[in-house]
Amino acid sequence: METDLTERLAKRLKELRIAQSYSLEDLANRCGISRATLSRMENADVSPTTDMLSKLCAAYGLTLTHLLSMVEETYAPCIRRADQPVWEDAQIGFLRRSLSPPSKALKGELLECEIAAGQVIQYDRPTIPGLEHHLYVVSGSLSVTIDGNQHDLTVGDCLRYHSNSPTRFETTNSPAKYILALI
């Protein structure tokens, strides 16, 4: 199933680039990923990391969830846990479950995310500037830095913000699990 998702994602990435009339070189300049790596992603030779997808989403003005929803096969009003799409970046220990995938008819998205212990995930720019985030910590602790302001969060804490600047997520000696609502 992971290979099928990688192949569908590869096809969609190529379609997005062509729809924008970008050459591989144009896209490489816009997102900071090498032309060779972009080509390998579009050919499903490699599965993109969270960082790579974030950079591509910023270049296209999409959220990660929206991009991944474009390769998911169906939309259903009720999504059972077993049917919720899961995407993993095993290299850094990041797991993203789409609890409520986006659709054309709905404005918000709901994600369940897990970051392994001792990890840092940094986004140089927001995928969609101004997007509203509501982050609720379910387990562990998480340090989130937005626009240079660090917020140390523990179980039950909720951080609300508009994504307009670089963002950094960091765990300490234990993993963190959080719910993220995007509006």
Q: Which of 47, 69, 91 is the last residue of a domain?
A: 69
**CATH number (domain holding residue 39):** 1.10.260.40
User: What is the edge-to-edge ordering of all strands in the sheet holding 109-115?
Assistant: 86-89, 94-100, 109-115, 176-182, 131-139, 158-163
Residue 74 lies in a domain: no
CA distance 57 to 54: 5
Q: For residues 102 and 80, which has the higher predicted lDDT (pLDDT)?
A: 80
pLDDT of the residue at 1? 39
Distances (CA, A) of 157 to 1, 29, 44, 90, 140: 35, 38, 39, 26, 11
Q: 49: domain range?
A: 2-69
Residue 76 lies in a domain: no
Task: Judge if pTM exceeds 0.85.
Answer: no
Residue 75 lies in a domain: no
Same domain, 112 and 163: yes
Q: Summarize pLDDT for 111-154 with one digit per residue, the tens.
A: 999 999 999 999 988 877 888 999 999 999 999 999 899 999 99
